[in-house]
Amino acid sequence: MSSILKNITMAALEPSLLRSKFRGSLLGALIGDCTGSPYEGETITAGEKIIIQRYFDKLEEPNLNLKTPFRAYTDDTAMTKSVAKFLIDKPEPDYGFLARLFVNDYFKEPRRGYGQNVVDVFHKLKTSKFEDVFKPAAEQFMGSGSYGNGGAMRIAPIGLYYHNNYKIMIKVATQSTKITHTHLLGINGALLQCMAVQQALMLDPQKKLDPRHFCLELYLKMKEVEKTEEDGEDESDFTSRAYQEKLKVVERLLGKPHDDNLDDEVIRNLGHGISAYESVPTAIYCFLKTQNESCGIMTDNLLRRTIQYAITLGGDTDTIASMAGAIAGAYLGEDAVNSSIAKHCESYKEIAELADNLFEARGGSLVSE
């Protein structure tokens, strides 16, 4: 194991702070999903950015009565809930159990905006009676597998639960992703998002974060992941080093002062699409960029700032805002969650409870390698 992996801080966090961070992360993911989904697939103009600013200002009003009481969540949250339950209900990872949770949820509520590939995989899993839970996904796209961001969008519970057991975190994140996504870019995108959540969780929310340092640490970890990826031998250089290269771009963009043209450059260089490659580095950038108050978003609340900024980039808004929200919430904890905004999100109480159950299932922060 390289020095970067050996040096990952294993210091136990104070239990009440850790519990708060579990809640912050899962609620951040939920809020990003629910507030982002109305803008999915849009190109956001300067005028719309102002409308989004007003939309969030309004959601923050404590006595706001909306005709529709809540913003519905999408497949991002549905699948995140399943991943959390998989960790809570079984002492050892049981991927057959996780596959059944995904499939049961999908057939109960199919209209949550699932990607077409995962829908195919769910049908095949059901028809095959879950005989080999990794086979259907591996067969998709003529054997190359999906590179969608569906593995990354649901990974936060794994980064939280295994936060002080890095090696197992990587293993469980990889295997759980492979139930639906087997393309190297889909898997490594999920690993990058998982590492970002874990890294954010380990930070002291009272201390100002150094965005470029956070990015460099992720880059070094990603270099390790992309180097040791066995399947990478047959892949092009581009695919097997893709995320290292993207993180260099994130670092470069973080060095630029905010202006009206920068968002277009971010979209052009990092992307805002449904592939993991064009969305996970973007979510990380959203989190890091909004640590600086001059990022074009008018609010002191760092969690809202991250989520709102992610939405203003357009494209796959719910998933990018959800991933960015999961990272920001893991850093900041529940104190950063604006309760007025949260209460407009479907199932926010259930998600807070799920975060507590995930925390309890872990036995606090006591288990380490």
Contact residues for Mg ion, defined by CB under 5 A? 318-319
Q: Is 260 annotated as a binding residue?
A: no
DSSP 8-class letter at 136? H
User: Closest residue to Mg ion, Cβ-based?
Assistant: 319
What is the spatial distance between Cα 58 and Cα 248, in angstroms, rounded to a whole number? 37
Comparison of 35 and 319: residue with beta carbon closer to Mg ion: 319
- Consult the annotation and say whether 316 binds a ligand: yes
Compare residues 263 and 318 and give the one whose CB is closer to Mg ion: 318
Q: Which amino acid is at 31?
A: I
Q: How far is the CB of 359 from ligand AR6 (least distance, A)?
A: 26
Q: How far is the CB of 214 from ligand AR6 (least distance, A)?
A: 24
Q: Residue 324 in contact with residue 280, Cβ under 8 Å?
A: no
User: Which does residue 147 touch among Mg ion, ligand AR6, none (CB within 5 to 8 A, set by kind)?
Assistant: ligand AR6
Largest Cα span, the chain: 57
Write down the least CB distance from residue 182 to ligand AR6, Å. Answer: 9
Q: Shortest distance, CB of residue 81 to ligand AR6, whole angstroms?
A: 14
Question: Measured from the CB of residue 185, what is the shortest distance to ligand AR6 in angstroms?
Answer: 8
Structural contact between residues 172 and 158, judged by C-beta atoms closer than 8 angstroms: yes
- Closest to Mg ion by CB, 105 vs 318, is 318
234 has binding-site annotation:
no
User: What distances in angstroms separate CA 215 from CA 82, 123, 211, one per listed residue?
Assistant: 29, 39, 6
Q: Are 162 and 169 in contact (CB under 8 A)?
A: yes
Helix (H, G, I), strand (E, B) or coil at 71: strand
> Which residues have a Cβ under 8 Å from the Cβ of 38 and sit 6 or more positions away?
71
**300 labeled part of a ligand binding site:** no
Is the CB of 23 or the CB of 181 nearer to ligand AR6?
181
DSSP 3-state of 293: coil
> Among residues 118 and 303, whose Cβ is nearest to Mg ion?
118
**132 known member of a binding site:** no
By CB atoms closer than 10 A (0-12, 13-18, 19+), residue 340 is middle
65, exposed or middle or buried, with CB in 10 Å at 0-12, 13-18, 19+? exposed
Q: Which residue has the tokens 């529940």?
A: 334
Residues that bind ligand AR6 (CB under 6 A): 74-76, 113, 115-118, 141, 144, 146-150, 153, 181, 183, 274, 316, 319
> CB neighbours of 251 closer than 8 A, spacing ≥ 6?
212, 215, 216, 219
- Which does residue 20 touch among Mg ion, ligand AR6, none (CB within 5 to 8 A, set by kind)? none
Spatial distance between the Cα atoms of 2 and 4, rounded to a whole number of angstroms: 5
To the question of whether residue 204 is assigned a binding role by annotation, the answer is no
* Complex with ligand AR6: residue 179 or 250, whichever CB lies closer: 179
Smallest separation, CB 319 to ligand AR6 (Å): 3
Q: Which does 304 bind (CB under 5 to 8 A by kind): ligand AR6, Mg ion, none?
A: none
The token duo for 13 is 């966090």
Q: Which does 274 bind (CB under 5 to 8 A by kind): ligand AR6, Mg ion, none?
A: ligand AR6
| Known binding-site residue numbers for Mg(2+) | 74-76, 316, 318-319
| Known binding-site residue numbers | 74-76, 316, 318-319
